[in-house]
Amino acid sequence: MGLISLIWGIAGMVFMVLALIPLLGWANWIVIPFAVVGAIIAAIGILFTSKANNGRAKAGLLLNGIVIVVGIVRLGIGGGVI
C-alpha cells in the first residue's frame, strides 16, 4: 500500500504542476479527488504496516496532502470555487 500511495502521490504532483498552467485550472477538479483517493490509500497503508515499514505510505500521504492543498488554493485564486 505504501508504494502504491507513493506512486499515486507522484502522479498527483505531476498532474498538479500541469494544472498550474494558465487555462488548465479546470484540471484541479480532477486532481483533487485523485489526490484524496491517494491519501486514503496512504492512510490505510499507515494503519496496516509496521512502524518500521510505513515510510513510503507517510511520504505518499504527504505528497497527496500537498496536492490537495495546492489544488484548493489554485481553485480559490482562479475563481473555481464560488
pLDDT at 81: 66
Written as one letter, the residue type at 23 is L
| Helices and strands (DSSP H and E) totals, the chain | 3, 0
pLDDT at 42: 94
Q: Is the dihedral of CA 62, 57, 6, 38 positive or negative?
A: negative
Q: Report which DSSP code applies to 49.
A: S
Written as one letter, the residue type at 74 is R
Q: Which residue has the cell 497527496?
A: 64
pLDDT at 82: 60
* Domain residue limits, the chain: 2-76
Q: What is the pLDDT along the chain (82 residues), one digit of tens a residue?
A: 889 999 999 999 999 999 888 888 888 899 999 999 999 999 999 999 888 888 999 999 999 999 999 999 998 888 776 6
Q: For residues 7 and 12, what is the distance between their CA atoms, to the nearest angstrom? A: 8
pLDDT at 52: 87
pLDDT at 25: 83
* Full-model pTM: 0.88
Q: For residues 55 and 49, what is the distance between their CA atoms, to the nearest angstrom? A: 10
